[in-house]
């Protein structure tokens, strides 16, 4: 199937942010995680998986390899917070109006 993921653009990619997604990329490779962001330059996805010990594993799927992205569920408030604060240094963290 021809996928137009890299052509979707920022407004469409935003719809996937903070959702748990299933991504097909490469030959029969499939992965799941919470979508943190999509690089608007390379269309690469950043997926985060929270582990029981409090750590997180981060997976970057290159935009050129993406075949299919499917939303599984929305994050609750706690997960969203946890997700969005993962990579922000505390001092630059701010709440946009």
Footprint of another protein (CB under 8 A): 6-14, 17, 25-27, 29, 31, 36-44, 46, 55-62, 64-65, 87-88
Whether the CB-CB separation of 45 and 66 falls below 8 Å is answered with yes
Q: 66, exposed or middle or buried, with CB in 10 Å at 0-12, 13-18, 19+? A: buried
- In terms of phi and psi (left: phi > 0; alpha: psi -120 to 50; beta: otherwise), the region of 43 is left
Q: How far is the CB of 90 from another protein (least distance, A)?
A: 13
**CB 60, min distance to another protein, A:** 5
Compare residues 58 and 72 and give the one whose CB is closer to another protein. 58
CB of 78 to another protein, least distance (A): 19
Q: Which is nearer to another protein, 12 or 73 (CB)?
A: 12
Distance CA 5, CA 3 (A): 6
């Amino acid at each position: 199937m021809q996928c137009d993921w890299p052509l979707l653009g920022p407004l469409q990619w935003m719809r996937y942010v903070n959702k748990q997604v299933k991504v097909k990329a490469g030959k029969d490779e499939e992965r799941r995680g919470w979508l943190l962001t999509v690089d608007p330059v390379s269309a690469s996805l950043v997926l985060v998986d929270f582990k029981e010990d409090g750590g997180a594993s981060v997976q970057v799927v290159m935009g050129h390899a993406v075949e299919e992205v499917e939303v599984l569920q929305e994050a609750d408030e706690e997960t969203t917070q946890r997700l969005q604060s993962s990579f922000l240094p505390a001092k630059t963290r701010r709440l946009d109006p």
